[in-house]
């Protein structure tokens, strides 16, 4: 990924938006919270979606499907770029172009003078960045338009009786697992254990399996004996619509994925008086530097 820089007003901050929808939501939530805290304008740099294709996966900007608040979008291309790797190695570039990289300093310690006019770059996968602004963030992530017919049918099915969302992430995680990467496949033993716990607390139960490899999921013995509905990716439904349906379920078994994390987070905020049951994999990252400390919410069951 490369950084695109244009001069920013001192009463604004800019955040680099990249990756899938889950990553985009983390990046927005962190920056929106800072902008609200310091009464600053917010520019979303979405230039990474021009010709962006990683590991055979097309990524697209999806935040505009929500009622997000921002001052401007920056989608320009064709001007001077510097790589993030180069910026990390050069304090000169960071200072010259106003680049603030994740982990430079704790966000909570930043002052308005340090953040104004800066380009914020990182994944920002830490719910503490926006936990004090959760009500506004939840409102920002409400859908801007009505659901498609397919999504309305799915949501109607979800609302009929106790529902359990199960998210199984495969796709690029298969390759990452084979190569020893940071994100790896969650073992089936996790889903079996989580399903046993939740099925003992919610009977009868309708299971909705969401996955990027739904045909593979249909052959899993772990769902035998349950009323199970398999929800694969569809051109007739946007990923933001699937996220909405996932969040409307009563119980959640999430993968080590920002996509299902956000579904569980949104459900937790909406049902704060009656905390929904969420099972999450204990191991989120597989590198020594990875930590799940800032990922899991209080009350979630980690297996």
Q: Which of 80, 107, 140 marks a domain boundary?
A: 140
Q: What is the pLDDT of residue 258?
A: 95
Q: In terms of domains, do 271 and 235 share one?
A: yes
Q: Which of 106, 140, 174 marks a domain boundary?
A: 140
Q: In terms of domains, do 8 and 115 share one?
A: yes
Question: Rounded to 5, what percent of the chain is helix, strand, coil?
Answer: 40, 20, 40
Bridge partner list, 12:
41
pLDDT at residue 291 above 60? no
Number of domains in the chain: 2
Q: What gap in Å lies between CA 248 and CA 263, rounded to an integer?
A: 8
pLDDT bracket for residue 116 (50, 70, 90): confident
Q: What gap in Å lies between CA 37 and CA 201, rounded to an integer?
A: 40
Q: In terms of domains, do 82 and 192 share one?
A: no
Q: In terms of domains, do 123 and 58 share one?
A: yes
pLDDT digits (tens, 9 = 90+) for 15-37: 989 999 999 999 999 999 999 99
The region of weakest confidence among 74-78, 150-154, 228-232 is 74-78
Q: In terms of domains, do 269 and 290 share one?
A: yes
Q: What is the pLDDT of residue 7?
A: 46
User: What is the number of other CB atoms lying within 10 angstroms of the CB of residue 156?
Assistant: 9
Q: Which of 140, 163, 191 marks a domain boundary?
A: 140
Q: In terms of domains, do 169 and 125 share one?
A: no
Q: In terms of domains, do 134 and 191 share one?
A: no
pTM of the model: 0.87
**Mean pLDDT computed over 152-178:** 84
Q: In terms of domains, do 153 and 295 share one?
A: yes
Q: In terms of domains, do 252 and 108 share one?
A: no
Tell me what the pLDDT averaged over the chain comes to.
82
63-67, 87-91, 98-102, 299-303 — most confident range: 63-67
pLDDT bracket for residue 271 (50, 70, 90): low
Q: What is the pLDDT of residue 1?
A: 45
Q: In terms of domains, do 136 and 203 share one?
A: no
Q: Which domain, by its residues, includes 195?
A: 149-302
Q: What's the CATH code of the domain at 291?
A: 3.40.50
Q: In terms of domains, do 154 and 275 share one?
A: yes
Q: What is the pLDDT of residue 208?
A: 97
Task: Pick the closest to residue 47 from 13, 24, 17, 22 (CA basis).
Answer: 17
Q: In terms of domains, do 22 and 90 share one?
A: yes
């Amino acid at each position: 990924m490369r950084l695109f820089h244009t001069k920013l007003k001192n009463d604004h901050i800019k955040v680099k938006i990249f990756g899938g929808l889950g990553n985009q939501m983390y990046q927005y939530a962190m920056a929106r919270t800072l902008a609200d805290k310091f009464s600053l304008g917010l520019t979303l740099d979405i230039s990474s979606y021009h010709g962006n294709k990683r590991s055979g996966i097309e990524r697209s900007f999806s935040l505009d499907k929500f009622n997000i608040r921002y001052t401007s979008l920056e989608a320009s291309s064709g001007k001077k770029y510097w790589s993030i790797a180069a910026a990390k190695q050069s304090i000169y570039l960071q200072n010259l172009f106003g680049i603030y990289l994740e982990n430079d300093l704790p966000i909570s310690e930043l002052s308005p003078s340090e953040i104004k006019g800066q380009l914020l770059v990182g994944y920002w996968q830490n719910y503490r960045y926006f936990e004090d602004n959760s009500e506004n963030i939840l409102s920002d992530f409400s859908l801007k338009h009505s659901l498609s017919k397919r999504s309305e049918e799915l949501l109607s099915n979800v609302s009929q009786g106790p529902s359990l969302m199960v998210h199984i992430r495969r796709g690029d995680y298969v390759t990452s697992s084979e190569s020893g990467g940071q994100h790896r496949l969650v073992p089936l033993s996790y889903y079996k254990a989580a399903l046993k716990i939740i099925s003992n607390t919610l009977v009868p139960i309708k299971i909705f399996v969401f996955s990027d490899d739904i045909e593979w999921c249909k052959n899993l013995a772990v769902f035998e004996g349950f009323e199970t509905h398999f929800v694969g990716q569809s051109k007739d439904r946007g990923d933001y619509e699937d996220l909405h349906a996932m969040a409307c379920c009563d119980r959640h078994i999430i993968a080590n994925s920002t996509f299902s994390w956000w579904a569980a987070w949104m459900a937790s905020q909406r049902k704060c008086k009656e905390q929904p049951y969420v099972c999450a994999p204990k191991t989120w990252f597989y590198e020594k530097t990875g930590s799940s400390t800032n990922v899991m919410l209080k009350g979630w069951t980690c297996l």
